[in-house]
Chains A and B, each alone.
Chain A
Amino acid sequence: MTRDDAFLQFLLRMGDNTLVLGHRVSEWCGHAPVLEEDIALANTALDLIGQTQMWLALAGEVQGDGKSADDLAFLRDAWDFRNALLVEVPNGDFGRTLMRQFLFDSWHKLMLERLKGSSDERVAAIAEKAVKEVTYHVERSRDTVIGLGDGTEESHARMQEALDYLWPYVGELFASDAVDAEMVAAGIAPDPASLRADYDAILTEVMAEATLSIPKSGFAHKGGRDGRMHTEHLGHLLTSMQWLQRAYPGARW
């Protein structure tokens, strides 16, 4: 694997995470329990899609065959996506959506803080921009997880169920492979495994405040960030997200 091959994979991982999660979160538009939450979810989705444009535009540049961010978003198939499995699981109820958001945001913020010091100035610039938005995301998802976890009997039970369901998808965020080793060697990105201790410290604190128990199992579903095996859910998501460009290739507004 050349450095550019690894760099491309790294950029697709960042951009596909924000793209797929942005699409998932946008599915709430018009359906959230109250207007303020609807607006907050739509704004979060918008930030994530905006960040996707920057990551995938850079991926297209590194790939060097003239592909735009839109080409990469709308014209690839499920097996070409490099997002972690966590972001493609269905929304479930509002509680599960916010639990997934918190589990992702906490990782995302730690990752972006480190990427601000990337040896590649384009990566550092995107991270500098994105981390400001993500700081807002995690503030809200953290508060909501605490509010619902330490809420009514019903909301507590649902949040514990959400954490139990999503926990096996957390480990993949910290899995390292040859792509990561190459990024570390180039000084472009940190080893994801090196973010785990800080992540666990945040989770321990927040889940204690939310009166939720972190599952003991260390089992992790994998196969998203290396594209080896996505869940069945990604294909369904793409049929909706990519429908227009597939039915009417090259359609423009």
Chain B
Amino acid sequence: MAQPSEQQVWDWLDTVPDPEIPVISVVDLGIVRDVAWEGETLTVTVTPTYSGCPATAIISMDIETALRNRGVRDIRVKTQISPAWTTDWLSDKGKVKLEEYGIAPPRPAGGPERCPRCGSKAVEKVSQFGSTPCKAHWRCTDCLEPFDYFKCI
């Protein structure tokens, strides 16, 4: 098989879902930092979201499996911690999908703009921490629905 282009690999990775939030891809999440061929070896550089996030190991495995299924044999998934991951790296497409899924996207203001369910701006924080390290727990005081907010870091 001919060596697939780096752009082709990016497109493939954009179909690998985040294990915790399957509506966005690992590329949307902004954790894939680089894709490069080094001779026969394809190196994918990944930056973890949170240092203790158990999804990180699963993500590396999912990336490797997806590429292997496309016929790439020699793959190296490299972890890079600096520069530290930031929610600025979430793609615009990813942010829209998050909100459709019911997770308010991150904002530099430190809280969600509106309730992802009814759109009301009357929202309040329940807890800085939520169901995964990357999320906080908020609720809408209009429709009374609790929801996840993707923390801005």
Contacts and interface: CB of A to CB of B under 8 A. Distances in A.
Given A39-B131, A40-B129, A43-B129, A51 B51 contact: yes
B126 interface: yes
Chain A interface SS verdict (over half): helix
Contacts of B48: 129
B136 to A, nearest CB: 9
B81 interface: yes
Interface string A37-56: 10110011011111101100
A232 interface: no
Q: For chain A, which range describes its interface: under 10, 10 to 19, 20 to 34, or 35 or more residues?
A: 20 to 34
Interface residues of B, number: 21
A39 B130 contact: yes
A51 B82 CA distance: 14
Contact of A47 (B50, B85, B130): B50
B21 interface: no
B81 A126 contact: yes
A54 B51 contact: yes
Contacts of B122: none
A136 interface: yes
Interface in B105-130: 126-130
A128 interface: yes
A140 interface: yes
Chain B interface SS verdict (over half): loop
A43 B82 CA distance: 22
A125 B151 contact: no
A200 interface: no
A133 interface: yes
A133 B50 contact: yes
Nearest to A131: B84
A140 B129 contact: yes
Nearest to B132: A43
Contacts of B95: none
Q: Which of A37, A43, A53, A126 has the most CB of B within 10 A?
A: A43
A126 B82 CA distance: 8
5 contacts: A49-B52, A54-B81, A128-B82, A128-B83, A136-B153
Interface of B: 48, 50-54, 81-85, 126-131, 133, 137, 151, 153
